[in-house]
Amino acid sequence: MKHRVVITGMGVVAPNGVGLVQFTNAIKNGISGISFHQNLKDLDFSCCIGGVPLVSEEKKLQYFTPLQLRGFNSSGILYGCMAGIDAWKDAGLSFSSESKLDYDSGTIFGTGTSGVEKFREAIYKIDNKEVKRLGSTVVLQTMTSGVSAFLGGMLGLGNQVSTNSSACTTGTEAIILGFDRIQMGKAKRMLVGSCSDDGPYIWGGFDAMRVMTYKHNDSPQEGSRPMSHSASGFVPGSGAGAFILESLESALERKANIYAEVLGGALNSGGQREGGSMTAPNEEAVVRCIKEAIRSAGIPPDAIDTINGHLTATSKDGLEIKNWTKALDRKGINFPYINSLKGMVGHCLTAAGSIESVATVLQLKEQFIFPNINCEEVHPEILSLISEEKIPKKLLKTKVTIAAKASFGFGDVNGCVILKKYSP
Amino acid sequence: MEKEALIAQLKTIVQPYIQDEEAFNNLSENTDFVKDLKINSANLVDVILDLEEVFDILIENADMEKMLSVKAAMDIVNEKLAAK
């Protein structure tokens, strides 16, 4: 028998809100977390704006011991651990450094690279023949699985503890991997999510590819413009999102608060064939991934009330909408509502799928659809496919039962998850 | 270096890494870094880096392996200081 899987806790560290309360308020009110960064300007970046969560030193000490913070320089692990611990607590689960090892709980917590700033420090020391002076902290902060290793130790997780990585699909993939594991009865609870480092050493490669906007250095909050006629490239972001996925039996037994149910999901790749490449999607594979997610959820495509898209604010947004219309066989006024969080937080790269999924689940829990900001004039290519009223520009309070969330990433990889408001 | 002063300085250096407060408060020559103070063995290299910095000495790999107690640390620090 396959187990039903529900979400019983969430945590988020986003450029426009740290913690669920701040983040919920921000997404409802269309608050941007994008700002100008002088360090990018000083390094001659074309795009000098980005989304960075605000975390004070005092806040760090609520999650890490002073010893853990000695020589600590990994923004991704910081955000990931904060979101992960918040999700754990939000689910009503307790922990301490002496808490009992729990073989029924694990984590799959994704990232792209880990501790790139720490890695930079280390490289300078090594090249200066000071390898002996690195200390003990380099490996832990720069190994890709650093974030899951930190979380596993903080929470005493005894089930699978690992990190997944699939570019911008990472966060959505983590949810599906955890879902599969619980569905198959291999774990009762999985902390899933993803995080991303921020700063020039993560964003530089994208700036070099000219995929980030250079037109809004003087108007940062207007820079990220998904689905807009005047979209001119993405704005980089960072942060983390986290979920406690749990078998329905376990959640009911604990009398846990249930945010939503994960009905199904799918992961695939276009194999960089048939129009797909390292950086562009194979359209057929995208459509297939969405269809497969819907099939696995056991719902008709018409049951989807809202879509949270990948929609990065590049020239590919129109193509994404076309793929959704094909996969759902719905268009015009019959298309579901659709939004993109990237207008407010930018493209949080490996953290995107999880932060955006937190927003999607909040919509189901509190029955609203957050506004698309910076989308005053929708791209004509998109308007030829779907009605403008399906792209809410103001907070919409409406009945939302089923939501689809998809993420697509470099390497021609796709992920789509189907979420439902919980009903027994 | 005088024994009491050296112990006091070592105490300050290891403080960030200790995980047994009581053993730390009773720190003496015979205190073991790992067994008593419960310092994570990975952090021993950090203790050594800090020692090098504070006393402006260089501790070789072979010395490092021996440095598992307050006594051993004191001997090595004194030896290095004398050789300066």
pLDDT tens-digit readout, A205-218: 999 999 999 999 99
In this prediction, residue A131 carries a pLDDT of: 95
Question: A285 and A235 in one domain?
Answer: no
Instruction: Name the minimum distance, in Å, from the CA of A137 to any CA of chain B.
Output: 9
Question: A279 and A241 in one domain?
Answer: no
B42 in contact with A, Cβ within 8 Å: yes
Neighbouring residues of A57: CB distance < 8 A, sequence distance ≥ 6: none
Question: A233 and A108 in one domain?
Answer: yes
Q: What is the mean pLDDT of residues B32-37?
A: 96
Query: Which of A132, A137, A138 has the most B C-beta neighbours within 10 Å, making it the best mutation to test the interface with B?
Result: A132
Q: Contact at 8 Å (CB) between A176 and A406?
A: no
Give me the number of domains chain A comprises. 2
Q: Which residues of A touch B42 (CB under 8 A)?
A: 136
Residue showing tokens 């406690």: A244
pLDDT in tens, A69-101: 999 999 999 999 999 999 999 999 998 877 889
Question: A339 and A198 in one domain?
Answer: no
Give me the number of domains chain B comprises. 1
Q: What is the mean pLDDT of residues A183-190?
A: 98
- Beta-carbon separation of A67 and B49 below 8 A: no
What CATH code is carried by the domain that includes residue B50? 1.10.1200.10
Last residue of a domain, one of A211, A242, A260: A260
Angle, CA of A321, A373 and A40, to the nearest 5°: 100
Instruction: Name the minimum distance, in Å, from the CA of A136 to any CA of chain B.
Output: 6
Residue A188, pLDDT > 90, answer yes
Question: A281 and A185 in one domain?
Answer: no
Question: A27 and A48 in one domain?
Answer: yes
Last residue of a domain, one of A208, A227, A260: A260
Question: A320 and A189 in one domain?
Answer: no
Question: A158 and A291 in one domain?
Answer: no
For chain A, what percent of residues have pLDDT higher than 70?
100
- Which tokens belong to B84? 């300066």
Q: Is the dihedral of CA A52, A58, A62, A66 positive or negative?
A: positive
pLDDT in tens, A270-280: 999 999 999 99
Domain range for B21:
3-83
Task: Give the global pTM.
Answer: 0.96
Question: A320 and A218 in one domain?
Answer: no
Find, among A336, A321, A308, A323, the residue nearest to A172 by Cα. Answer: A308
Question: A286 and A383 in one domain?
Answer: yes
pLDDT in tens, A129-173: 999 999 999 999 999 999 999 999 999 999 999 999 999 999 999
Residue A16, pLDDT > 90, answer yes
Residue showing tokens 């049951």: A303
- Beta-carbon separation of B17 and A136 below 8 A: no
What CATH code is carried by the domain that includes residue A311? 3.40.47.10
Q: What is the ipTM of this complex?
A: 0.87
In this prediction, residue A98 carries a pLDDT of: 78
Q: Which residues of B touch A66 (CB under 8 A)?
A: 16
Question: A78 and A151 in one domain?
Answer: yes
Question: A346 and A250 in one domain?
Answer: no
Domain range for A44:
5-260
